[in-house]
Amino acid sequence: MDTAISGLIGSHLPKKVVTQSHLDDTVFTDVTNFARDTHWLNTAMVDYSSYGMILFAALIVVGWWRARSADTTMMTAALAVPVAAITAFLVNDVVKSLVAEPRPCYRLPDAFLLEACPQVSDYGFPSNHTAVAAAMATALFLVDRRLGLIAAAATAIMGFSRVYVGAHYPHDVLVGLLVGTAAGLATAIAVREFATPLVTRLAASSLRPLMTTR
């Protein structure tokens, strides 16, 4: 029955979906088999994979709150974090469209999957979740090292969770980390370089309570 279903799925996919080769099929299968054997962890990983960005939003708020009692440079760095997230998402989405690599659920339909297989046009390489998380973690390091470390650990868990639930190959996550880190660092540096004068003016305007407590 499983073989017949796999054949039916394969017959309706573009040829490159069926014939594409991946070096980390084995690692992906090992992780999803681990997910099958750790059913007690399934709900937590699915929830974190889907809603873990709430933690990053909380870290952004904490960074902004701490920056209010610091100088303008730190406030600019704090405001750069959500900008870095948006930049990483846009850059990563361009890469996804150019590479157009199908999700692992189409190549390995018999794997243990905790996340529903999306439509074929929802490509997997690189991982958007991981890229955005990595961008925020990188930018948060420039705000507060401790927040950056927490975000880095949260990013690692996010990346693993995306493979655990069966949404991505390991290389989707690894490249997502690279894209997110590069985009996050470039954005944070650019914002700090060019937006600090604007934040200084805002701190002297009616928005002062949001910018500084000094």
- At how many degrees (to 10) do helices 145-164 and 170-203 cross? 150
Whole-prediction pTM value? 0.83
Q: Nearest CA to 125 among 87, 170, 157, 181?
A: 170
Q: Please give the Cα distance from 7 to 20 (Å, whole number).
A: 15
Evaluated on CA atoms 96, 101, 106, 112, the torsion sign reads negative
Residue 71's pLDDT is what? Answer: 80
Residue 74's pLDDT is what? Answer: 86
Residue 23's pLDDT is what? Answer: 64
Q: What burial class does residue 21 get, using C-beta atoms within 10 Å of its C-beta: 0-12 exposed, 13-18 middle, 19+ buried?
A: exposed
Q: Please give the Cα distance from 184 to 152 (Å, whole number).
A: 12
Residue 18's pLDDT is what? Answer: 38
Q: Nearest CA to 48 among 139, 154, 180?
A: 154
Per-residue pLDDT of the chain (214 residues), as tens digits, is 333 333 433 334 443 443 344 567 888 888 989 999 999 999 999 999 999 999 999 999 999 889 888 788 888 899 999 999 999 999 999 999 998 888 888 888 888 888 888 888 888 899 999 999 999 999 999 999 999 999 999 999 999 999 999 999 999 999 999 999 999 999 999 998 888 787 778 767 777 777 666 6
